[in-house]
Chains A and B, each alone.
Chain A
Amino acid sequence: MAAEAELTPTQYIGQHLTFNAKAVGDGAFWTLHVDTLATAVLLGISSIGFLWWVVRGATSGVPGKRQAFIELAFDFVDAQVKDIFHGDRRLIAPVALTVFVWVLLMNSMDFLPVDWVAKFTHLFAPEGFRIVPTADVNSTFALALSVWLLMIYFSIAVKGFGGWIHELFCSPFGANPVLWPANFLFNLVEYVSKPLSHSLRLFGNMYAGEIIFLLLWMMAATSLVGTVFASLLGLGWAIFHILIVALQAYIFMMLTIVYLAMAHESH
């Protein structure tokens, strides 16, 4: 944050919501959000590295605290997958575990005090650095789109290309040729709405959380009383945010499992 000039509230929020964007081509689309990308990759690598580190030393005997914790998380995810999807879990369960852990960590970035982090990130990114990757619609949409592609892949792998096309035109209303346009339209809406609702739900929650934090910090800057109140409210919001962070990661994972399980079912 620029220290020499007084910031208006708009500028404060604006600055905290500025992506560290790097243009890599012509046009608005060809932009990389370096902050989102870097944080997501860093969290992904550290979570996978942590899992790998624990699992590498795993014992079939009495587990250590770390291993027991990982086992609990693993069992939790595996039980959810087992409940919803009856089939070969070798791909879907790892997908669910990855999505859950990664989204949970990315959401958790919301807990860090933004201005303190900004003090550090300004050293190498003075124009702005957002540390909550899931508050960037690009990353949530990327996750949802990956799931969407997996969904189509599984549909084709299970039913065959012909079966998939058949399903596009013949379900849910029936195989009568008169109903083909209606079926196709219905499926089209479904295929468009799935990744949108999947990604926007997560994005909306995290973005809103971030905004509320920023508003509270603005209040903290007004006066000493404001600081005290903002601190209390900030604590309350942070505690409530534990629920949101975990719940949104859980919902994202559950939707992933549900979508992939639905792709395996023939109608």
Chain B
Amino acid sequence: MNINLTLFAQAITFAAFIWFTAKFVWPPLMRAVEARQKQIADGLAAGERGKQDLEQAAKRTEELLREARQKAQEILAHADKRAVELIEEAKAAAKTQGEQLVAGAKAEIDQEVFRAKEMLRAQVAALAVTGAEKILRREVDAKAHADLLRAVEAEL
């Protein structure tokens, strides 16, 4: 038996076998490995992204809340101010109205006083005329003495 030929055949076969393995057995294995790696990496990345999104959303919520709170406070302050203003306005209006009322009343009173005075004057004049008649014991001709009478009346 020649040993060297056998060795030769075995070497060729072994080399070809290694080539076959590298060409057809190894790649599918590597593909599976890489697919697994990719799947895990994608999953982890998705998880990380979700976490970031959540954080961002939380931050935004906080911001919105703070804004809303601030706005509410502004509105409250505005309302307070407006209320004070309204009260002041109402006060001023009431004051002027009161003054007007008082003035009106005063005018009315003045008028009443004036009218009373006039009436009084007329009555006094009548009285004076009657007194004068009585003193003169005769009729005073109203027509003849109208000028006189009116002068007396005006004096009163």
Contacts of A71 in B (CB 8 A): 36
CB pair B5–A62 under 8 Å, yes or no, is no
Minimum CB distance partner of B9 in chain A? A220
The reply to whether A111 and B17 form a contact with Cβ atoms under 8 Å apart is yes
Counting contact residues on chain A (CB < 8 A from B), the size range is: 35 or more
A59-95 interface mask toward B, CB cutoff 8 Å, 1 = contact, 0 = none? 0011111001101100000000000000000000000
Nearest CB on B from A179, distance (A):
51
- Complex Cα spacing A69 to B8, Å: 34
Asked whether A8 lies within 8 Å of B33 as measured between CB atoms, the reply is no
Q: Is B114 an interface residue (CB 8 A)?
A: no
Cα–Cα distance between A98 and B1 once the two chains are bound (Å) = 41
Given contacts A7-B1, A8-B1, A116-B14, contact A72 B44 (CB under 8 A): no
Q: Name the A residues within 8 Å of B32 (CB-CB).
A: 72
Cβ–Cβ < 8 Å partners of A8 in chain B: 1
Interface residues in B1-40 by Cβ distance below 8 A to A read: 1-3, 5-14, 16-17, 20-21, 25, 29-30, 32-34, 36-37, 40
Q: B44, A112: Cβ atoms under 8 Å? A: no
Beta-carbon contact of A9 and B1 below 8 Å: yes
Judging by beta carbons under 8 Å apart, are B11 and A113 in contact?
yes
**Is B1 in contact with A227, judged by CB distance below 8 angstroms?**
no
B41 beta carbon closer than 8 Å to chain A: yes
Query: Taking the complex as formed, is A186 at the interface, i.e. its CB lies under 8 A from any CB of chain B?
Result: no
Is B44 within 8 A of A115, CB to CB? no
Q: How far is the CA of A220 from the CA of B5 in the complex (A)?
A: 6
Task: Assess whether B8 is in contact with A227, with CB atoms less than 8 Å apart.
Answer: yes
B12 / chain A contacts, CB cutoff of 8 Å: 231
A-chain residues with CB within 8 Å of residue B40 when the two chains form the complex: 61-63, 68
Inter-chain contacts of A3 with B (CB < 8 A)? 3
Q: Is A224 an interface residue (CB 8 A)?
A: yes
Q: How far is the CA of A234 from the CA of B41 in the complex (A)?
A: 42
Q: Is the CB of A69 within 8 A of B33?
A: yes
B29 in complex: contacting residue of A69, A216, A238, CB < 8 Å: A69
Q: Contact between A112 and B14 (Cβ–Cβ < 8 Å)?
A: yes
User: Quick check: B5 and A227 within 8 Å, CB to CB?
Assistant: yes
The verdict on A250 contacting chain B, using a C-beta distance below 8 Å, is no
B9 and A230 contact, CB distance less than 8 A: yes
Interface mask (B47-69 → A, CB under 8 Å = 1, otherwise 0): 00000000000000000000000
B25 adjacent to A242 (CB under 8 Å): yes
A221 touches B36 (CB 8 A): no
Q: B3, B8, B11, B41: which contacts A62 (Cβ < 8 A)? A: B41
Pairwise interchain contact A221-B3, C-beta atoms closer than 8 A: yes
Is A217 an interface residue, CB under 8 A from the partner?
yes
Please report the C-alpha to C-alpha distance between residue A9 and residue B2 in the assembled complex, in whole angstroms: 11
A26 lies within 8 A of chain B by Cβ? no
Q: Which residues of A contact B5 (CB under 8 A)?
A: 220-221, 223-224, 226-227
A42 at the interface (CB under 8 A from B): no
A114 interface residue, CB < 8 Å from B? Answer: yes
CB distance from A75 to the nearest CB of B (A): 9
Best-surrounded residue of B13, B20, B21, B29 (most CB of chain A within 10 A): B13
Let me know if A142 is at the binding interface, CB within 8 A: no
Chain B interface (Cβ within 8 Å of chain A)?
A: 1-3, 5-14, 16-17, 20-21, 25, 29-30, 32-34, 36-37, 40-41, 44
List 22 interface pairs A-B (beta carbons < 8 Å), by A numbering.
A7-B1, A9-B1, A61-B40, A62-B44, A65-B30, A68-B37, A69-B29, A71-B36, A72-B33, A112-B14, A115-B10, A217-B10, A221-B5, A223-B5, A227-B6, A227-B8, A227-B9, A230-B9, A234-B9, A235-B16, A238-B13, A242-B21
Top 6 nearest A-B pairs (CB, nearest first) are A220-B9, A113-B10, A234-B13, A7-B1, A238-B17, A68-B33
Extra A-B contacts (20), CB below 8 Å, given A68-B37, A111-B17: A3-B3, A7-B1, A7-B3, A12-B1, A61-B40, A62-B41, A62-B44, A63-B36, A63-B40, A64-B37, A69-B29, A113-B14, A115-B3, A115-B7, A116-B11, A116-B14, A216-B9, A230-B13, A234-B13, A238-B13
